[in-house]
Amino acid sequence: MYRYDEYDQAIVDARVAEFRDQVARRLANEITEDQFKPLRLMNGLYLQLHAYMLRVAVPYGTLSGTQLHALAHIARKYDRGYGHFTTRQNIQYNWIKLAEAPDLLAELAAVEMHAIQTSGNCIRNISSDQFAGAAADELADPRPYAELLRQWSSFHPEFSFLPRKFKIAVTASDTDRAAIQLHDIGLQLVDRDGVRGFKVWVGGGMGRTPMIGHVVREFIPASQYLSYCEAILRVYNRYGRRDNIYKARIKILVHELGAEEFTRQVEAEWALLEPLALDAPAAEYARIVAQFAEPAYDAAASDQLDLADPGFALWVKQNVHPHKRPSYAIATISLKPAGGIPGDASADQMDLIADLAARYAHDEIRVTHSQNLVLAHVRKADLHALWTALDGAGLATANLDLVTDIIACPGLDYCALANARSIPVAQQIAARFADLDRQHDIGELKIKISGCINACGHHHAGHIGILGVDKKGEEAYQLLLGGSGAEDTSLAKILGPGFTEAGIVDAVEKVIDRYRSVRTGPSERFLDTYRRVGADPFKEAVYG
Amino acid sequence: MIKLLTGNDLLTGDVLWWDGAGWSLNLADAVAVEGDALLAKVIAEERINDPALIDAELTPHGPRPRTMRERIRGTGPTVRLDLNRMPA
């Protein structure tokens, strides 16, 4: 994986020193909170309901074992022994003290991590496919391109004060595991006539006004994707709605201009940029690619797998994916145990997973936007030992993409923006469907819960989405059906009137019961059934 | 309905409640506040973040904020009762 060079390290160290000075001045009351707040937000430090929250960037979701150990250490030393993995493949700590934040950031910098640009109206953490570099179905590892984007977008002087935040995702497979069509820019690596390049979507997003991105370029050569992104950002920076925060995302600009006119403007801008040779030199790209070299695979490893142990077999069926090498596999560690908090991991669990990554997975861990962790390069021969160790720590729940593998934002239990709690709803649904046989009978079903319209829980992309709203100071929940963040992207639609906390769990169960009665068979996913029969049978089941 | 003065501690981010003489970590210590003068003073001092007057009612068990948001601020996350400073 990518290692900082002297410039990366110097930049991050300098930022820590700068923030240390800013914190000291704030604590001495030399600057006001109004002056300080944008400075701390630029370093990922929010003030939430109960304490400061620090959001740490995990570039394209990739961590080394050393980094995960450091995150565990930080959870113990500076927080309350745990962290929360997010839908942007980052990690958040919920109980940070302002005076200790500079020391924390210094410890992060020592393992080549930071919290820069995890807040504010700038280009946020570049996200990617959690199976990158390992997936059997990918064209090539997309992470070198994501890393170049990270370097290009970090402290980009022109794009540090955009109209609104900006999110980019990069994948290299027809199977979309990164929700690229729901990003401000989505990039899919493709080949055309022997040339490698990207298909480019712009203007997708969730939040208050969910929209699916438009294809603005079927193909841009990979040697020019940075300057093309620069052109997109320039058009957005120039014309994005700074007058209205609710209309400031690029999706609104694309919608208001129309995709055709927006594309015309981007092409015109790019025509000006292209002669300036802003793209990375081939040698720099080659330097980065070399750092994503394949691990030293065991050429003698067997591609056989003994599935005699039924618990292990179930986990393999649900949580293990094909690797590009037949003797290896990709293992997803569910952070959704029964009764647990989606995405939370204790310091001890982080240390264990880092140890297992060192022993079985070439010392590398991935964070997924579904709030799980992945070991991407595991010998099939080691899978049982890995599963045994995970099972002993309560980390072998075989529920990937099933009804209890729920995305949930922190919600009103932590978040200052939230209107309603998300986590308790996820826990109650998980408890209602705790029976694994029932889960496997239901099959793939992605429930996504947001505690407010900002949609950090991706409710618009849920096969079943739940949105928490405020009703005169009390919590209420809307039910949405039919969303997808995959290659068949669609936006979920509200089914009808909202519910109380108890009512929403009952409503979800009624929807699922109706699905089981109208599906053509177990192989028809909930989403496919919904698309075939429409909303009416589910309305009747819930409200009839 | 009464008003309570609340905010977050600058150093720790802890939720604080005005108890009549100073700041308390315990919602049960909160007292009714009249007028905006105290809030204006707190804002000017710049030591408490996001200071605000919130609606609450007096109950036999102490002050109860009107909204779920403020009640959760008063007790801590409902999903990690082990981390709460005081009983829910």
Give the count of beta carbons closer than 10 Å to the beta carbon of residue A532.
Answer: 11
pLDDT at A435 exceeding the cut of 90 = yes
3-state percent helix, strand, coil for chain B, nearest multiple of 5: 25, 35, 40
Best interface-test mutation with A: which of B68, B73, B82 has the largest number of A CBs within 10 A?
A: B68
Comparing CB atoms, the residue among B10, B68, B73 nearest residue A50 is B73
User: With an 8 Å Cβ cutoff, are B76 and A97 in contact?
Assistant: no
pLDDT bin (cut points 50, 70, 90) of residue A473 is confident
Please tell me the distance in Å from B72's CA to the nearest CA on chain A.
Answer: 7
Task: For chain A, say whether B78 makes contact (Cβ under 8 Å).
Answer: yes
For residue range B1-20, what is the model confidence (pLDDT) as tens digits?
A: 999 999 999 999 999 999 99
Please report residues of B whose CB lies closer than 8 A to that of A470: 67
The domains found in chain A, sorted by start residue, are: 6-110 (3.90.480.20), 142-289 (3.30.413.10), 310-392 (3.30.70.3340), 407-543 (3.30.413.10)
User: With an 8 Å Cβ cutoff, are B68 and A420 in contact?
Assistant: yes
3-state secondary structure (DSSP) of residue A159: helix
Residues 8..67 of B with a Cβ closer than 8 Å to A: which?
A: 8, 10-15, 46-47, 49-50, 66-67
- Burial of A348 from C-beta contacts in 10 A (0-12 / 13-18 / 19+): middle
Comparing CB atoms, the residue among B46, B77, B83 nearest residue A32 is B46
- Average confidence (pLDDT) over A420-429: 98
Comparing CB atoms, the residue among A80, A414, A474 nearest residue B68 is A474
pLDDT at A434 exceeding the cut of 60 = yes
Task: For chain A, say whether B71 makes contact (Cβ under 8 Å).
Answer: no
User: With an 8 Å Cβ cutoff, are B77 and A414 in contact?
Assistant: yes
The interface pTM score, or ipTM, of the predicted complex is 0.95
pLDDT bin (cut points 50, 70, 90) of residue A171 is very high
Please report residues of B whose CB lies closer than 8 A to that of A419: 69
User: With an 8 Å Cβ cutoff, are A341 and B80 in contact?
Assistant: yes
For residue range A291-342, what is the model confidence (pLDDT) as tens digits?
A: 999 999 999 999 999 999 999 999 999 999 999 999 999 999 999 998 899 9
Q: What angle do CA A43, A411, A40 make, to 5 degrees?
A: 15
Phi then psi for residue A290, to 5 deg, are -60, -30
Give the count of beta carbons closer than 10 Å to the beta carbon of residue B24.
Answer: 16
User: With an 8 Å Cβ cutoff, are A413 and B67 in contact?
Assistant: no
Please report residues of A whose CB lies closer than 8 A to that of B68: 412, 420, 473-475
Phi then psi for residue A255, to 5 deg, are -65, -45
Tell me the C-alpha distance between B13 and A11, whole Å: 28
pLDDT at A471 exceeding the cut of 80 = yes
- Scanning every residue of chain B, which has its alpha carbon at the shortest distance from the alpha carbon of A418? B69
Tell me the C-alpha distance between A445 and A349, whole Å: 26
Comparing CB atoms, the residue among B15, B47, B79 nearest residue A424 is B79
Comparing CB atoms, the residue among B11, B49, B77 nearest residue A413 is B77
For residue range B49-71, what is the model confidence (pLDDT) as tens digits?
A: 999 999 999 999 999 999 999 99
- Predicted pLDDT of residue B88: 36
For residue range A342-393, what is the model confidence (pLDDT) as tens digits?
A: 999 999 999 999 999 999 999 999 999 999 999 999 999 999 999 999 999 9
Comparing CB atoms, the residue among B11, B15, B66 nearest residue A50 is B15
pLDDT at B87 exceeding the cut of 90 = no
- Scanning every residue of chain A, which has its alpha carbon at the shortest distance from the alpha carbon of B16? A50
Tell me the C-alpha distance between A179 and A127, whole Å: 9
- Predicted pLDDT of residue B84: 79
Pairing of β A407-408 and β A447-450? parallel
- Average confidence (pLDDT) over A98-103: 98
Best interface-test mutation with B: which of A26, A30, A37, A49 has the largest number of B CBs within 10 A?
A: A49
- Predicted pLDDT of residue A345: 98
Tell me the C-alpha distance between A480 and A498, whole Å: 10
Q: Which two tokens stand for residue A524?
A: 């028809």
pLDDT at A539 exceeding the cut of 60 = yes
User: With an 8 Å Cβ cutoff, are A50 and B76 in contact?
Assistant: yes
- Predicted pLDDT of residue A352: 98
- Burial of A23 from C-beta contacts in 10 A (0-12 / 13-18 / 19+): buried
Please tell me the distance in Å from A64's CA to the nearest CA on chain B.
Answer: 29
Residue A93 neighbours by CB under 8 Å, 6+ apart: A53, A54, A56, A74, A75, A78, A79, A83, A84
User: With an 8 Å Cβ cutoff, are A412 and B47 in contact?
Assistant: no
Across chain A, what does the average pLDDT equal? 97
Comparing CB atoms, the residue among B13, B46, B76 nearest residue A52 is B13
Please report residues of B whose CB lies closer than 8 A to that of A48: 13
For residue range A104-134, what is the model confidence (pLDDT) as tens digits?
A: 999 999 999 999 999 999 999 999 999 999 9
- pTM of the shown model: 0.97
Please tell me the distance in Å from A425's CA to the nearest CA on chain B.
Answer: 10
Tell me the C-alpha distance between A424 and A300, whole Å: 47
Tell me the C-alpha distance between A265 and A243, whole Å: 21
Nearest to residue A146, comparing CAs of A123, A167, A169? A169
Please tell me the distance in Å from B20's CA to the nearest CA on chain A.
Answer: 21
For residue range A218-277, what is the model confidence (pLDDT) as tens digits?
A: 999 999 999 999 999 999 999 999 999 999 999 999 999 999 999 999 999 999 999 998
pLDDT at B24 exceeding the cut of 60 = yes
- Predicted pLDDT of residue B85: 65
Please report residues of A whose CB lies closer than 8 A to that of B26: none
- Scanning every residue of chain A, which has its alpha carbon at the shortest distance from the alpha carbon of B74? A50
